[in-house]
Amino acid sequence: MVQDIISIRDLEKADIENALLTAADMERFAEKGTTMAQGKILSTLFFEPSTRTMMSFQSAMNRLGGKVIGFSDIKSISVQKGETLSDTVRMMEQYSDIIVIRHPLEGSARLAAEVADVPVINAGDGANQHPTQTLLDLYTIKKEFDTIDGLTIALMGDLKYGRTVHSLAYALSLYDVELVFVSPRELRMPHEVTEHLKEKKTPYREVVNLEDIPKVDLVYATRIQKERFADPNEYERTKDAYRIDKSSIRLLGDARIMHPLPRVSEIAPEIDKTPNALYFEQAGNGIPVRMALLSMLMGVNR
Amino acid sequence: MSKKKLKVSAIRNGTVIDHIRPGKAFSVVKILHLDETDETVTITSRVASKVSGTKDIVKIEDRELLTEEVSSIALISPEATVNIIKEYEVIDKRNVRLPDTIENILPCSNPVCITNHEPVVTVFRVERSRPIVLRCHYCERTMQEKDVVKVLG
Ligand SMILES: [Zn+2]
């Protein structure tokens, strides 16, 4: 059993499966709660704001019966006076049984885990890792299809800079899946990820257009950000080309649609009530998954 | 014997690092922190080499460098050899080989890596040695040979 959740790279398939099973077990407490974490305190150290992620952790800890302290941006604490991350972590661990950290610098969560004696969960370290997002993505897939093995999964949008899709591709390579990468040429999946897939013998193919997506079980759409484009017209064209709406959804058959949210225009609101839409459920799955991780790391889940 | 042979073994006791890539002797000194030692260090740059044009040589008197100590110079000069000298004789000769991890030698080339903003000892895992691929233990980014050369000179 791992002591911290810092990077999807640290996790073996058995760790992931164990977390997903525990998350399924947490569903029964997800509504009325439990007292298993009574007397425990979670510190949320958010050095950059991410309201959704923080609230999801707060909600999970509350459902477990524990309490939450912390800060949601650095202006409120002494960090701006030049205190090191290590010192902030050493101080906060005196106040709590587990730490969740989000920080703009890459590798910050790893450092925090090395400094702290209490367990640390990475809620995003810059463009590097956000492992609880990946775990809730896997959990959503497993819950919907009862299995991850045997699925064909398309990852669509900004595959070059998207941390979420890199981690997801990495995690999916532990399973028996086929991947389809759908992106404009400028935003293709990085070499490092495709090399890894080759090593793991995970079949993948790359297509440019939404129309070229073969029959898949799932489309994981991600945000296409304006700042990635030098030419604003190019951005507009790209954004429209990958938009899932009433007309393009026909090309995808009954494929389920996931998205890490918030969306901009990648998925039209008219899709929300179709059986394809899985993204709100996906966001909700953050609660049992984070309950599972918090309780496992604190050792209170039995 | 040739003049060069004399030059290489001209120290009585200590370590001679030979076959360093031309111009890299100063980087070797930096990596091994030889600029901070009390021993006499002699740097010879761009001398004729039987094997490959020119080479650099670094001699450290009265100190035997351990294999682990020198292995990291394989980062910039994988062909280098380490000769241990006793009473003017070479008593041991070793090639350098990259260790599995490189600690406290390289800064990370990623500007938004935490190690460039906080006092942290850098750690890299060697994923491949030829060509060199190192992965930062913290930010998980990789550094290639060209990145290593850029930060070590
Ligand atoms: Zn780094």
Q: What is the pLDDT of residues B83-92, one digit of tens each?
A: 999 999 999 9
- Is residue A112 located within the same domain as residue A151? no
Instruction: Indicate the residue of B112, B113, B118 with minimum beta-carbon distance to A86.
Output: B118
- Is residue A121 located within the same domain as residue A138? no
Q: What percent of chain A has pLDDT over 70?
A: 97
Question: Does A2 reside within a domain?
Answer: no
Whether B137 and chain A come into contact, CB under 8 Å, resolves to: yes
- B50-104 pLDDT, tens digit per residue, is 877 899 999 999 999 988 888 889 998 989 999 999 999 999 999 999 999 999 8
- Is residue A72 located within the same domain as residue A167? no
- Is residue A102 located within the same domain as residue A160? no
Question: What global pTM score does this model have?
Answer: 0.90
Q: Using alpha carbons, select from A236, A268, A237 the residue that is nearest to residue A252.
A: A268
| List of chain A residues whose C-beta atoms are within 8 Å of the C-beta of residue B114 | 85, 103, 105-108, 110-111, 125
- Residue B2: per-residue pLDDT: 47
pLDDT category at A192 given cuts 50, 70, 90 is very high
Residue B135 C-alpha, separation from nearest chain A C-alpha, in angstroms = 12
- Is residue A82 located within the same domain as residue A169? no
**A111·B118 Cβ contact <8 A:** yes
**A85·B118 Cβ contact <8 A:** yes
Tokens of A205: 């193919």
Per the structure, how many domains does chain A have?
2
The CATH number linked to A113 is 3.40.50.1370
- Is residue A164 located within the same domain as residue A119? no
| List of chain B residues whose C-beta atoms are within 8 Å of the C-beta of residue A129 | 140
Containing structural domain, residue A108? 8-129+286-298
What is the pLDDT averaged over residues A208-228?
Answer: 93
What is the pLDDT averaged over residues A10-18?
Answer: 97
How far, in Å, are A13, A288, B13, B66, B86 from residue B83 at the CA level? 46, 61, 10, 11, 10
Side-chain half-sphere of A69: how many Cα atoms within 13 Å?
A: 12
- Is residue A145 located within the same domain as residue A261? yes
Residue A111 C-alpha, separation from nearest chain B C-alpha, in angstroms = 7
> In the annotation, is A196 catalytic?
no
Contact B16, B56 (CB under 8 A): no
Residue B56's SS3 state is strand
- Is residue A243 located within the same domain as residue A226? yes
- A112-166 pLDDT, tens digit per residue, is 999 999 999 999 999 999 999 999 999 999 999 999 999 999 999 999 998 999 9
- Residue B6: per-residue pLDDT: 46
Question: Does A1 reside within a domain?
Answer: no
Mean pLDDT of chain A: 94
How far, in Å, are B28, B36, B105 from residue B39 at the CA level? 15, 9, 20
What is the pLDDT averaged over residues A210-227?
Answer: 93
- Is residue A52 located within the same domain as residue A146? no
Tokens of A170: 């990495």
- A247-282 pLDDT, tens digit per residue, is 999 999 999 999 999 998 999 999 999 999 999 999
Residue B79 C-alpha, separation from nearest chain A C-alpha, in angstroms = 28
Identify the CATH number of the domain defined by range B101-152.
Answer: 2.30.30.20
pLDDT category at A15 given cuts 50, 70, 90 is very high
Beta-bridge mates of residue B24: none
> In the annotation, is A102 catalytic?
yes
Q: How far is the CA of A45 from the centre of ligand 1 (A)?
A: 21
- Is residue A77 located within the same domain as residue A145? no
- Is residue A65 located within the same domain as residue A205? no
> Which comes out higher in pLDDT, residue A214 or A81?
A214
Question: Does A121 reside within a domain?
Answer: yes
- Is residue A117 located within the same domain as residue A36? yes
- A64-112 pLDDT, tens digit per residue, is 999 999 998 777 665 566 789 999 999 999 999 999 999 999 999 999 9
Tokens of A85: 């991350």
Domain B14-95 has CATH 3.30.70.140: yes
Delimit the domains of chain B by residue range.
Answer: 14-95, 101-152
pLDDT category at A184 given cuts 50, 70, 90 is very high
